[in-house]
Chains A and B, each alone.
Chain A
């Protein structure tokens, strides 16, 4: 595609529900990244995929968070039993290879009530 796309753009959910966030990277980009940005805060790195594998998952905030990438393309970030502190903008980025220019998607704004 022309750029990184994310869906949904906004998500309001109730505490305790599960949510799934989707990221479509730029075609041909092997590296994919998930970040989180809380209101007025900086970027928090969550996870990085090279192809379908994620070498280090220690950036995920808790075991309620999981991410997968299939076919070296689309990635999903799943948050189980959402908590209010999960409210944030979740950003996805992709790059042709690791350590190259990262292109960000518009983000998914998650609000947990």
Chain B
């Protein structure tokens, strides 16, 4: 039931783009994206609800394809500050609320 993230790691040069994928074998109600820098608490990026929506702020956006049970996080014109581990958390919906997280994608942006 743990979502699968890909790639496991990616190295970019400043200004390059990246896509991180999150796939589940179960029907999803929502997908949550977080970024965590080493030694720090995770920072919430966005939630996407089923309905195929796309969200974004600054140069980070995400899409959610409920038919494919997949979400993708898009980072464009990457900045050094984007470095960190990105986690997706998935939730099936219903009256109970339980997030299951992927193992994370380590993103390194070099000058």
A-B interaction = yes
Q: Taking beta carbons and an 8 Å cutoff, which residues of A are in contact with B? A: 33, 41-45, 48, 50, 55-56, 58-59, 91, 93, 98-107
**Chain A at the B interface: mostly helix, strand, loop or mixed?**
loop
User: Closest CB-CB distance, A107 to chain B, in whole Å?
Assistant: 6
B47 near A44 (CB under 8 angstroms)? no
Q: Taking beta carbons and an 8 Å cutoff, which residues of B are in contact with A? A: 30, 32, 34, 41-44, 47, 49, 87, 89, 95-104
User: Closest CB-CB distance, B33 to chain A, in whole Å?
Assistant: 11
9 nearest CB pairs, A to B: A56-B96, A104-B41, A45-B99, A43-B101, A55-B96, A102-B44, A48-B97, A42-B104, A42-B101
- A100 and B41 CA atoms in complex are apart in Å by 17
- A103 and B45 CA atoms in complex are apart in Å by 10
Residues of A contacting B99 with CB < 8 Å? Answer: 33, 45, 48
Give 12 CB contacts A-B under 8 Å.
A42-B102, A43-B87, A45-B89, A55-B95, A55-B96, A56-B97, A56-B98, A59-B98, A101-B44, A104-B43, A104-B44, A106-B41
Residues of B contacting A56 with CB < 8 Å? Answer: 96-98
B44 near A42 (CB under 8 angstroms)? no
B41 near A105 (CB under 8 angstroms)? yes
Residues of A contacting B89 with CB < 8 Å? Answer: 43, 45
Residues of B contacting A43 with CB < 8 Å? Answer: 34, 42, 87, 89, 101
User: Closest CB-CB distance, A108 to chain B, in whole Å?
Assistant: 11
Residues of B contacting A33 with CB < 8 Å? Answer: 99
